[in-house]
Structure 1
């Protein structure tokens, strides 16, 4: 779990009090091939979130991670360096949950339809969705037994608990229906 937390902390926005890691260690390169780095413009300011590749054409993230010029980087170990394993893919369409409420972050979940399919490699591989029955960054996954169980929505700015996750299985009908339509 610690490598995942470190990776998620590295994806938090600048100024979120996460510029240094205390008690963490670097994750094994590409040990989380489903992780996505989501970049977008919000009022002409660059923003970033985490996400999880759930299908060759779809990334699941938080609905508040929406803006213009959205793109996704897959297969990155260090986002600050260009790596041969990285795939930079523009987003064709952002689909926030229809009941998303930005005032209280309810239903804070969104699908990103990629412009082209993600090429599966050792560094890029989708994570399974649950069957239907912490701390991290916005849009980042909570993973149990190699299945995405939650998408991080929000938490305290100082990094202390609690952190709020959207339970993915609750949104499965919407996720599957939306992915099938597109």
Structure 2
């Protein structure tokens, strides 16, 4: 086979002709009785180029598919990581909200007790000031007749209702810790009863 034909084929393909391809082309030339300068060689060279191209095509498809799958996998992993981070953040936020709600119920009696103590201190201080100003002792029930005492009585009733509500709610749902709010409600009720007896 002519060297110029081989060089032409190698230039078209961009790669060297293998021994197998050389023998196949030589056998074709001999079987068809083609001369080295025959124009039919151009047709065979084009067919040989197409054959080599389609033989390499599966590898090119595999490489392209692998690259595409790699990019898809990286994108999916990145999106999964972002979704996981968003989920973790959401769980943290919901846990913080739930924790705040859970702590409100046990802390509410303490807040009410602090307010009641402050109101009681203010009422008693006002009552003591009246006693000192008048120069004579006033009856204890006058605490309830002053504005702070009226507010104190209303807040005490609110605290009793709240403590009873918490206690009954815990009893209804078979939860522990119902005894403390029940005792607090009864204790505040006893204080209110004692004050009303004096009034």
Question: Is this a same-fold pair by TM over 0.5?
Answer: no
Flag the structure with higher helix content.
2
Larger Rg: 2
Q: TM-score, normalised by structure 1?
A: 0.21
Structure with greater contact order relative to length (CA < 8 Å, sep ≥ 6): 1
Q: TM-score, normalised by structure 2?
A: 0.20
